[in-house]
Amino acid sequence: MKLRVIGRWGAYPKAGEATSGYLLEIGNHKILLDCGSGVLSALQKFIELRELTCAFLSHPHFDHTADLGCLQYACLIDMDLQLRDRPLRLLTSEEAEGGWSIPAMKGTYETGVNDSAAVTFEDDLTLTFFRTNHEGYCLGVRVEFEGKVLVYTADTRYDEALVPYLKDADLLITESSFYSDFNAAQYGHMNSHEAGRLAAKAGVKKLLLSHFPHFGDIQVMKEEAAVMFDGEILLAEFGMQVVI
């Protein structure tokens, strides 16, 4: 299981970078976790778009979905050119049927998932979804393969109800939208202390902080999270790869 950071910013991309987007490579599967602004361009530095087999969209906020329409166009073109042998599967968070307005397009097909859903692929790869504490309907995902576990919280306030879904993860990717002295909950997010506390409560092995603010020195966030979590802490960097 390999995780590549494609986008690490909240709200909007820093110059030359991208908002939320992570490439997960497992066997023959290449799964994109969120498709924020700038992700599509950045992703092509590592793989051809036709190699993607699945994309998960945690919630419809633009910093997680802005490049989705262009991804659909890419899949349509690759299908017409016979460069893609099967449509891209889109897993979209839907509290109720018809909750999203993603247009149907050749080259992709949509599967709505909710917080009681699990999707199993060949080779015993399983994605289990859970609701996070954010504005609107947002899902995190727990990925399990050959005894290894990766969890992506997407956006969330600090909420200990999430702990069972994060429990004993080999890698936890979670947001750190504010510094420790900020009240992040009022914006639907977590600060660095809360990210570390959640990781500690869940007993995860490694913590990857991401979804960063556009002010201050984000390097400080690692120290702030370490006050609460004594495991390994990484700060997301564009192109960073973590092997699980």
Residue-by-residue DSSP string for 195-227: HHHHHHHHT-SEEEEESB-SSS-TTHHHHHHHT
How many percent of the chain have pLDDT more than 70?
99
| Mean pLDDT to the nearest integer, 2-31 | 98
Give the pLDDT score at 151.
98
- Is the pTM value of this prediction over 0.95? yes
Q: Work out the pLDDT band at 162, boundaries 50, 70, 90.
A: very high
Quote the pLDDT of residue 238: 98
H helix and E strand count, the chain? 6, 14
Phi and psi torsions of 164, nearest 5°? -60, -30
| Cα Rg of the chain, angstroms | 17
| Averaged pLDDT, 6-24 | 98
Mean pLDDT of 68-88: 97
Instruction: Tell me what pLDDT residue 197 has.
Output: 98
On the question of pLDDT at 97 being above 90, the answer is no
- Please tell me the predicted confidence (pLDDT) of residue 100: 78
> Residue 98's pLDDT band (boundaries 50, 70, 90)?
low
* pLDDT of res. 123: 85
DSSP strand pairing (2-7 vs 241-243): antiparallel
Classify each residue of 227-243 as buried b or exposed e, where b means 16 or more C-beta atoms within 10 Å of its C-beta.
Answer: ebbeeebbbbebebebe
Q: Lowest-confidence range among 119-128, 142-151, 170-179?
A: 119-128
Q: Mean of the per-residue pLDDT values for the chain? A: 97
What one-character DSSP code corresponds to residue 124?
Answer: G
Residue type, 216: G
- Tokens at residue 134, please? 């954010």
pLDDT confidence of residue 12: 98
